[in-house]
Structure 1
Amino acid sequence: MKRIIVSVTNDLVTDQRVHKSCTTLFNNGFDILLIGRKLKNSKQLTRSYKTKRIKLYFNKGFLFYAEYNIRLFLKLLFTKKDILLANDLDTLLPNYLISKLFSKNLVYDSHELFTEVPELINRPFKQNIWKFFESSILPRLNNQYTVCDSIATYYNTKYKTNFYTIRNFPLRDSKQDSTNFPFEINSCKIILYQGALNLGRGIELIIKTMLFLNNTILVIIGNGDIEKELIQKVINLNLENKVKFINKLNPAELKKITPLADLGISFEEDLGLNYRYALPNKLFDYIQAKVPVLVSDLPEMKNIVSKYKVGEVITDRTPKELASQINKILENGKDYYNTNLEIASKELIWEKESKKLIEIFKNLN
Structure 2
Amino acid sequence: MPENIKRTFESNDAKVPPLGGGGGHLVFSVTTDLTYDQRMIRICTSLANYGYTVTLVGRKMKASLPLTQQPFQQKRLRCFFEKGKLFYAEYNIRLFFYLLFKKMDCIGAIDLDSILPCYFVSRLKKVQRVYDAHELFCEMKEIATRPAIYKIWKKIERYTVPKFIHGYTVNQPIAEEFKKMYAVDYTVIRNIALLRNSSIPEKKEKFILYQGAVNEGRSFETLIPAMKEVNAQLIICGDGNFMQQAQQLVQEHGLQQKVIFKGKIKPDELRAITQQAYIGVTLFDDEGLSNYYSLANRFFDYLHAGIPQLCVNYPVYREINDQYHIAVLTDDISEKKLAVLLNNLLDNEVEYKTLQQNCLKAREQLNWQQEEKKLFEFYNQIFNH
TM-score (norm 1): 0.92
| 1:191 corresponding residue in structure 2 | 208
| 2:279 corresponding residue in structure 1 | 263
1:290 aligns with 2:306: yes
Q: Which of the residues 135, 146, 150 maps onto 1:123?
A: 146
In 2 relative to 1, CA 62–324 (structure 1 residues): closer, same or farther, beyond 3 Å? closer
Contact 1:293 1:312 in 2 (8 A): yes
Please list the CA deviations of residues 209-267 of structure 1 after superposition, one character each: whole Å capped at 9, or x if unmatched.
122223x2222222223323323322332323322222221110011111222211111
In 2 relative to 1, CA 213–78 (structure 1 residues): closer, same or farther, beyond 3 Å? closer
| 1:202 corresponding residue in structure 2 | 219
In 2 relative to 1, CA 141–320 (structure 1 residues): closer, same or farther, beyond 3 Å? closer
How far off its partner does 1:356 sit? 0.7
Please list the CA deviations of residues 52-102 of structure 1 after superposition, one character each: whole Å capped at 9, or x if unmatched.
111112222222222222221111111111111111111111111122222
Residue type matched to 2:370 in 1?
Answer: K
1:146 aligns with 2:169: yes
| 1:278 corresponding residue in structure 2 | 294
In 2 relative to 1, CA 252–176 (structure 1 residues): closer, same or farther, beyond 3 Å? farther
| 1:352 corresponding residue in structure 2 | 370
| 2:47 corresponding residue in structure 1 | 25
Contact 1:310 1:340 in 2 (8 A): yes
SS at match of 1:9: coil
Please list the CA deviations of residues 284-343 of structure 1 after superposition, one character each: whole Å capped at 9, or x if unmatched.
100000000111122122222222100211143332333222222222333121331111
Residue type matched to 1:64 in 2?
Answer: F
SS at match of 2:257: coil
| Total equivalences in the alignment | 358
Contact 1:290 1:338 in 2 (8 A): yes
Of residues 111-120 and 169-178 in structure 1, the stretch that sits farther from structure 2 once superposed is: 169-178
SS at match of 2:65: coil
Of residues 219-228 and 270-279 in structure 1, the stretch that sits farther from structure 2 once superposed is: 219-228
1:337 aligns with 2:324: no
Distance in structure 1 (CA, Å) of the matches to 2:152 and 2:336: 42
> Aligned ranges for residues 1-16 of structure 1 at < 5 Å?
1-16=23-38
| 2:270 corresponding residue in structure 1 | 254
Please list the CA deviations of residues 139-160 of structure 1 after superposition, one character each: whole Å capped at 9, or x if unmatched.
2222100111111110011111
In 2 relative to 1, CA 179–82 (structure 1 residues): closer, same or farther, beyond 3 Å? farther
In 2 relative to 1, CA 315–124 (structure 1 residues): closer, same or farther, beyond 3 Å? closer
Residue type matched to 1:152 in 2?
Answer: A
Residue type matched to 2:277 in 1?
Answer: A
Distance in structure 2 (CA, Å) of the matches to 1:322 and 1:204: 11
Contact 1:179 1:257 in 2 (8 A): no
1:304 aligns with 2:320: yes
Distance in structure 2 (CA, Å) of the matches to 1:213 and 1:203: 15
Contact 1:263 1:293 in 2 (8 A): yes
Distance in structure 2 (CA, Å) of the matches to 1:189 and 1:361: 43
| 2:99 corresponding residue in structure 1 | 76
Distance in structure 1 (CA, Å) of the matches to 2:181 and 2:119: 20
Distance in structure 2 (CA, Å) of the matches to 1:315 and 1:157: 27
Residue type matched to 2:137 in 1?
Answer: F
| 2:181 corresponding residue in structure 1 | 158
Please list the CA deviations of residues 181-229 of structure 1 after superposition, one character each: whole Å capped at 9, or x if unmatched.
xxxx7xx532211112222111231222122223x22222222233233
Distance in structure 1 (CA, Å) of the matches to 2:331 and 2:166: 39
1:48 aligns with 2:71: yes
Of residues 46-55 and 125-134 in structure 1, the stretch that sits farther from structure 2 once superposed is: 125-134
SS at match of 1:233: helix
Contact 2:200 2:305 in 1 (8 A): no
Residue type matched to 2:320 in 1?
Answer: I
* Structure 1 gap ranges (5+): none
Distance in structure 1 (CA, Å) of the matches to 2:326 and 2:282: 13
Residue type matched to 1:137 in 2?
Answer: T
TM-score (norm 2): 0.88
Contact 2:200 2:306 in 1 (8 A): no
Contact 2:219 2:333 in 1 (8 A): no
| 2:244 corresponding residue in structure 1 | 228
Of residues 117-126 and 102-111 in structure 1, the stretch that sits farther from structure 2 once superposed is: 117-126
Contact 2:49 2:71 in 1 (8 A): no
Distance in structure 2 (CA, Å) of the matches to 1:152 and 1:211: 39
